[in-house]
Structure 1
Amino acid sequence: MRRADRLFLIIHALRGRRTALPARGLAETLAVSLRTVYRDVADLQRSGVPIEGEAGVGYLLRKGSDIPPLMFQPEELEALVVGTRFVQAFAGERLSRAAGAALLKINAVLSPELRERSERSRVFAPDFGQHAAIKAHIDEIHVAIAEARVVVLDYADEKGSASMREIQPLCLAFWGGAWTLGAWCRLRRDFRNFRLDRIRQCTLSAQKFAEDAATDFRAYMRAMESASR
């Protein structure tokens, strides 16, 4: 994360709060050290941002520095909070950090009443203990999809038989207990779904694949819809 983005998030996290925000909470959300948070806050204070508090106690933005609250209905806000919890529990580290940062921004500009409502939500998404390798695969494949990069998989099927697959990744899907990767398999010359917990190794190639009407995401969705009938 760029330092400018980090400073922006710190200011937004402090806006509208009634109680001091501990530096440790900021550090965990921003995925940086406590020392970095202390240094960033000190730099903001020196630049004229009206932050009160100190290390070990917490920080507040001086009263009167708030910005207008976002116009969310309570149910809309709860949907965002619950969605963020699911992302943090089940997605990769990159999306988890992004979801945490997004929620931090939202909470920073909510009215006190809406912020309290969001904190009272009793819909949770406990992490079912995903292996760290699966979360790493999610991050890697997410990048590959965004950049249209070919991926090489060392994959084991349901019987444990291993094979090497060169694929064109198209989408990731979560089915409530397992993640799958939808892709065009160059070995089988067809669309395939790969379970992430059966991927032994995932390697992103430097090779990129071009959009093709016969092998792109739309074609994949048509194939899946046809197979489900």
Structure 2
Amino acid sequence: MRRADRLFEIIQVLRRASRPVTADRIAAELETSKRTVYRDIDALVAQRVPIRGEAGIGYVLDRGFDLPPLMLTVDEVEAVALGAQWVVANADVALARAAHGVLAKVAAIVPEDLRPLIDDPAVGTPPVRDRDDGHVDVARLRKWCREGRKLAIGYVDETGAASARVIRPFMIGYVATVRIIMAWCELRQDFRIFRTDRLTAVEFLDQRYPERSVALRRRWLATMRDRHTVVPPAG
């Protein structure tokens, strides 16, 4: 859990409680250590969150305290609107539905004078033609990337050569005309990019790969940076 999320959850735990809450209880609920809870409580108090109490007794959040409302600038609202429009136009159905939900939530919390930036935005992205995803369930594919599970695929490359592979997907790319899968290919023992419209078969395996998906993403990004680094000529 990110620290910002943890601080928010501590406030929620204290708000729900009818009596002082010990650091032990907070640590158990958030699945963290007491020492971390003590540090987080100190950080919240330093930010003027009205928490009273001490270690070994418990903590109480003063009644009437609430988190400040989400305040967004004009540029930030337009960035959200543009990003959501792009997702609606380019992503899979599930993500497009989520983008509509995000816009509805933002419209509900912004001041009245900013609402037209959501309802009638001055920024936009043009719709794109339908994509051929090779009958792949892209929403499930995203889930497999998050959970670090393998795929068994049939694939036809740009030359027409067909192959069967087991891959370790870790990222889905939503580019202008096609969707792509970034993965570690067990056949080639290297990173590879696969176009969804060239997949001839997809089997979602329950088997998790040994490396965390976030670690694979970082390795891939580092590899891409190295490959695109321009080495100056020798003097």
- TM-score interval, normalised by the smaller of the two chains: 0.5 to 0.7
> TM-score, with normalisation over the residues of structure 2?
0.62
Q: Percent identity?
A: 30
> TM-score, with normalisation over the residues of structure 1?
0.63
**What is the aligned partner in structure 2 of residue 188 from structure 1?**
188
**What is the aligned partner in structure 2 of residue 151 from structure 1?**
151
**What is the aligned partner in structure 1 of residue 72 from structure 2?**
72
**What is the aligned partner in structure 2 of residue 62 from structure 1?**
none
- 2:205 counterpart SS class: strand
Take 1:200 and 1:135, find their aligned partners in 2: how far apart are those partners?
9
User: How is 1:54-203 mapped onto 2 (pairs within 5 angstroms)?
Assistant: 70-131=70-131, 133=133, 136-203=136-203
**What is the aligned partner in structure 2 of residue 7 from structure 1?**
none
Distance 1:217 1:178, change over 3 A: same
- 1:121 counterpart SS class: coil
Give 1:126 shift. 3.2
Q: Which runs of 5+ in 1 are unaligned?
A: 1-67
Are the equivalent residues in 2 in contact too, given 1:94–1:139 (CA < 8 A)? yes
Give 1:136 shift. 4.4
Higher relative contact order (CA 8 A, sep 6+): 1
Give 1:226 shift. 2.1
Take 1:139 and 1:126, find their aligned partners in 2: how far apart are those partners?
23
Take 1:196 and 1:76, find their aligned partners in 2: how far apart are those partners?
33
Distance 1:99 1:114, change over 3 A: same
Take 2:201 and 2:128, find their aligned partners in 1: how far apart are those partners?
22
Give 1:200 shift. 2.5
Are the equivalent residues in 2 in contact too, given 1:92–1:136 (CA < 8 A)? no
Take 2:190 and 2:173, find their aligned partners in 1: how far apart are those partners?
18
Take 1:196 and 1:97, find their aligned partners in 2: how far apart are those partners?
21
Aligned-pair Cα RMSD in Å: 2.4
